[in-house]
């Protein structure tokens, strides 16, 4: 049963992953990517990783919905009403991708992978939580710091005109330097 | 289910993502390719945890790291796209080749 479910999800994940780069519409590409993520998350769920699998599903649904908004903002053909391709060096990329897959698959099939007969934990989520609050605390600290730096960096990058543009580098301008004067003059 | 089947799935996802990241011109589509490649890391790390060392939490911690990398990549990617689109009306990588050496 699990075997059949795994193969169904694996094939569906790869097919929807390929569809991301084949469909014309950007909205369809976004939701094909979402489907691919959900199918792979089901294979993670098959490995007893309930928490991480559900985390990936929930995170990807939100992320892809946000991505759909950005797609419609930035892409020239968001609805896919006319067929178009936006690729460069397609043959070269295809050759590199197929070559990479062949090399990786050969390695996967030829290497004698180690197995393990050690006992699996009763609750993998408990194992992860205790590791993050114990021996792997440093990982959690660095991740938190990286996420905070990301928030600051994204706000700085996405701001159009901040107070330093309006009031000068020392914030000592009496009147703001705006392209269109107006407002209440503060 | 075996470790090899999961690693095959991971290599297929990685290769599809690599094709997308190399061939697409739109910045947002390139980010989709990168996401697929990180997704392959999630599959591989969970399979290694389950089949090779279930008694240690390292595999699960790598999955958590990959999920965070995905979120950071997405957020920063969209911020950079917004910034470059606002200043130069660029949404394709071929129009932003200033650092090409």
Task: Suggest the residue from A29, A154, A165 to mutate for an interface test with chain B (most B CBs closer than 10 A).
Answer: A154
pLDDT at residue number A179: 79
Interchain contact B97–A (C-beta under 8 A): no
Interchain contact B66–A (C-beta under 8 A): no
Q: Which residue has the tokens 């080749």?
A: B97
pLDDT at residue number A183: 63
Asked, for residue A109, whether it belongs to a domain, the answer is no
Asked, for residue A99, whether it belongs to a domain, the answer is no
The CA distance from A150 to B73, in Å, is 9
List chain A residues with CB under 8 Å of B78. Answer: 66, 70, 154, 158
Per-residue pLDDT tens digits for A42-61: 999 999 999 999 999 999 99
> How many domains is chain A partitioned into structurally?
2
Minimal C-alpha gap between A170 and chain B (Å)? 23
Per-residue pLDDT tens digits for B35-93: 999 999 999 999 999 999 899 999 999 999 999 999 999 999 989 888 888 888 887 78
10 Å CB burial of residue A40 (0-12, 13-18, 19+) is buried
A residues 19..38 contacting B (CB < 8 A): 20-21, 26, 29-30, 33, 36-37
Interchain contact B73–A (C-beta under 8 A): no
Query: In chain B, what are the domain boundaries?
Result: 3-92
Across chain A, what does the average pLDDT equal? 88
Q: Look up residue B24 and give its two tokens.
A: 């697409």
User: Are residues A69 and A131 located together in one domain of the fold?
Assistant: no
User: Are residues A129 and A65 located together in one domain of the fold?
Assistant: no
List chain A residues with CB under 8 Å of B41. Answer: none
Give the confidence band of A137 by pLDDT, cuts at 50, 70, 90: very high
CB contact under 8 A, B33 and A124: no
Per-residue pLDDT tens digits for A63-119: 988 888 887 777 666 666 666 677 888 899 999 999 999 999 999 999 999 888 888
CATH class of B3-92: mainly alpha
The CA distance from B54 to B64, in Å, is 16
Asked, for residue A69, whether it belongs to a domain, the answer is yes
Q: Which residue has the tokens 């193969």?
A: A7
Asked, for residue A57, whether it belongs to a domain, the answer is yes
Mean pLDDT of A164-177: 84
Interchain contact A1–B (C-beta under 8 A): no
Asked, for residue A29, whether it belongs to a domain, the answer is yes
The CA distance from A23 to A32, in Å, is 9
Parent domain of A7: 1-79
Among A47, A79, A111, give the residue marking a domain's end.
Answer: A79
A-B Cβ pairs (cutoff 8 Å, strict)? 229
For residue B50, what are the contacts with CB-CB under 8 A and spacing of at least 6? Answer: A47, A48, A49, A120, B59
Among A79, A113, A137, give the residue marking a domain's end.
Answer: A79
């Amino acid at each position: 049963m699990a075997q059949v479910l795994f193969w169904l999800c694996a094939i569906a994940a790869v097919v929807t992953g390929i569809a991301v780069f084949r469909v014309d519409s950007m909205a369809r590409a976004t939701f094909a990517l979402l489907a691919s993520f959900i199918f792979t998350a089901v294979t993670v769920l098959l490995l007893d990783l309930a928490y991480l699998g559900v985390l990936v599903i929930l995170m990807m649904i939100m992320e892809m919905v946000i991505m759909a908004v950005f797609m419609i903002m930035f892409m020239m053909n968001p609805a896919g009403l006319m067929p178009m391709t936006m690729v460069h060096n397609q043959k070269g990329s295809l050759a590199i991708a197929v070559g990479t897959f062949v090399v990786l698959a050969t390695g996967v099939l030829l290497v004698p992978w180690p197995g393990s007969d050690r006992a699996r934990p009763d609750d993998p989520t408990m194992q992860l939580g205790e590791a993050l609050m114990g021996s792997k605390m440093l990982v959690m600290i660095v991740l938190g710091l990286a996420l905070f730096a990301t928030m600051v960096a994204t706000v700085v990058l996405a701001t159009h005109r901040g107070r330093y543009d309006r009031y000068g580098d020392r914030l000592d301008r009496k009147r703001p330097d705006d392209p269109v004067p107006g407002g209440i003059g503060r | 289910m075996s470790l090899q089947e999961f690693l095959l799935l991971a290599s297929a996802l990685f290769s599809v993502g690599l094709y997308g990241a190399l061939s697409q011109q739109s910045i947002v589509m390139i980010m989709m390719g990168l996401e697929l490649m990180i997704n392959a890391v999630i599959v591989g790390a969970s399979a290694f945890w389950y089949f090779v060392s279930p008694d240690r939490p390292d595999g699960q911690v790598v999955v958590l790291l990959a999920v965070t990398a995905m979120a950071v990549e997405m957020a920063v990617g969209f911020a950079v796209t917004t910034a470059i689109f606002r200043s130069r009306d660029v949404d394709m990588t071929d129009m932003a080749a200033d650092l090409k050496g």
